């Protein structure tokens, strides 16, 4: 009986949240977990934090860093400025990508990280130790008052700073434009992974020098959305799941390939998507690894600026796949993949 009551409670809460978003209630989303509320803040900022981007670019120059070869210099900075030693070792599977031992003042990084990924984790530690006032100044604008949301915001902003340091704004934007936003080439140039490049591309919203306005999402095989960021007004559904016709889910069936899709939303807008499966974790036979699919999308009008649209007739309406924001809030009644009826009130 208790389990049944709990299931009903969760279902009612999901319905209430969906209706709040549909009706545009001012407090919509406040019942969502802290991580979702922090993501909403990033999306309201178009996933761009200008003061952290400017700080990272300035420090990149001051510290004499070199794109793609930053790990040794950041290791030295942590030791000289904060007395923190960096050690690389085989860490227990399932742990975070960095562990700090306060007793020995040692930052432990797993040995499966590439040098660029190590640099990213060291940059996060530098942000939390040397630039917390700048991060807290951004958090002050969010209106967050409880510790859970403040802690989540600090994690998100320190990661943002790390990405901005490893992939400095103007250098990264120029390389992206020159390559036709070739993600694998950018990953090679900056010494980072496919997912990190996708995430960084979704942050290029500087008013004086904007990149393409991308949306970025990461899901697992069960459909759990662990990352969603948008430099535009594209709506990621926070309730009712997401659309199984979306190319991001096909990426699990074709690991290693970059898949593309022209998709049409119920409001008629069309987008160009690319997706790929990514994995991380210990290397070796039988080792447990994390597996996700990441997708990067933009309005169809920008598709011709992407190397991935070469040879594709993306403008033809007949080549568009009809997708939606999730069954609970999707009006497509003729969809063969509909799992739930649409909630009333639309």
Q: 33-169, what's its fold?
A: Arc Repressor Mutant, subunit A (1.10.10)
Provide the residue ranges of all domains of the chain, joining segments of one domain with +.
Answer: 33-169, 212-346
Q: 212-346, what's its fold?
A: Beta-Lactamase (3.30.450)
Q: Is the pLDDT reported for residue 160 higher than 80? A: yes
Q: Is the pLDDT reported for residue 345 higher than 60? A: no
108-127 pLDDT, tens digit each: 999 888 899 999 999 999 99
Mean pLDDT confidence for 293-306:
95
Q: What number of other Cβ atoms are within 10 A of residue 97's Cβ? A: 17
What confidence category does residue 178 fall into, taking pLDDT thresholds of 50, 70 and 90? very high
Mean pLDDT of the chain: 86
pLDDT of residue 129: 94
Q: Is the pLDDT reported for residue 26 higher than 50? A: no
What confidence category does residue 238 fall into, taking pLDDT thresholds of 50, 70 and 90? low
The order of strands in the sheet holding 85-89 is 85-89, 106-110, 99-101
Mean pLDDT confidence for 26-31:
48
What confidence category does residue 29 fall into, taking pLDDT thresholds of 50, 70 and 90? very low
- For 274, the token pair is 């690319």
3-class DSSP string for the chain: CHHHHHHHHHHHHHHHHHHHHHHCCCCCCCCCCHHHHHHHHHHHCCCCCHHHHHHHHHHHHHCCCCCCCCHHHHHHHHHHHHCCEEEEECCCCCCCCCEEECCCCEEEEECCCCHHHHHHHHHHHHHHHHCHHHHHHHHHCCCCCCHHHHHHHHHHHHHHHHHHHHCCHHHHHHHHHHHCCCHHHHHHHHCCCHHHHHHHHCCCCCCCCCCCCCEEEEECCCCCEEEEEECCCCCCCCCCCCCCCCHHHHHHHCCCCCEEEEEECCCCCEEEEEEEEEEECCCCCCCCCEEEEEEEEEEHHHHHHCHHHCCCCCCCHHHEEECCCCHHHCCCCCCCCCCCCCCCCC
pLDDT of residue 92: 65
- For 341, the token pair is 């009826």
Q: Is the pLDDT reported for residue 331 higher than 90? A: no
Among 19-28, 173-182, 190-199, 213-222, the minimum mean pLDDT is found in 19-28
Ramachandran sector of residue 311 (left: φ over 0; alpha: ψ -120 to 50; beta: rest): left
**Same fold for the domain at 33-169 and the one at 212-346?**
no
Give the sign of the dihedral formed by CA 86, CA 91, CA 96, CA 100. Answer: negative
pTM of the model: 0.85
Question: What percentage of residues in the chain have a pLDDT greater than 90?
Answer: 55
Q: Is the pLDDT reported for residue 307 higher than 60? A: yes
């Amino acid at each position: 009986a208790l389990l049944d009551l709990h299931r009903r409670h969760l279902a009612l809460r999901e319905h209430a949240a969906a209706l709040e978003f549909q009706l545009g209630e001012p407090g919509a989303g406040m019942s969502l977990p802290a991580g979702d509320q922090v993501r909403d803040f990033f999306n309201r900022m178009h996933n761009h934090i200008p003061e952290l981007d400017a700080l990272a670019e300035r420090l990149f120059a001051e510290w004499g860093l070199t794109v793609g070869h930053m790990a040794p210099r950041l290791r030295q900075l942590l030791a000289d400025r904060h007395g923190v030693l960096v050690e690389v070792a085989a860490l227990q599977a399932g742990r975070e990508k960095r562990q700090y031992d306060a007793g020995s003042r040692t930052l432990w990084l797993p040995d499966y990280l590439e040098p660029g990924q190590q640099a990213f984790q060291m940059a996060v530690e530098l942000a939390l130790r040397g630039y917390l006032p700048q991060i807290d100044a951004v958090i002050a604008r969010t209106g967050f008052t409880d510790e859970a949301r403040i802690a989540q915001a600090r994690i998100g902003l320190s990661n943002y700073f790390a990405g901005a340091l490893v992939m400095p704004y103007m250098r990264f934007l120029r390389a992206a434009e020159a390559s036709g936003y070739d993600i694998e080439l950018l990953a090679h140039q900056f010494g980072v992974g496919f997912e990190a490049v996708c995430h960084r591309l979704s942050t290029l919203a500087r008013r004086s020098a904007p990149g393409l306005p991308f949306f970025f999402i990461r899901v697992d095989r069960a459909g759990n959305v662990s990352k969603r960021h948008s430099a535009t007004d594209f709506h990621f559904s926070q309730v009712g799941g997401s659309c199984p016709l979306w190319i991001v889910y096909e990426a699990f069936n074709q690991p290693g390939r970059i898949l593309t899709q022209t998709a049409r939303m119920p409001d008629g807008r069309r987008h160009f998507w690319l997706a790929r499966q990514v994995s991380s974790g210990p290397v070796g036979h039988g080792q447990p690894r994390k597996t996700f699919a990441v997708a990067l999308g933009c309005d169809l009008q920008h598709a011709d600026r992407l190397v991935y649209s070469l040879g594709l007739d993306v403008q033809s309406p007949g080549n568009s796949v009809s997708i939606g924001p999730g069954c609970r809030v999707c009006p497509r009644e003729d969809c063969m993949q509909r799992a739930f009826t649409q909630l009333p009130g639309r």
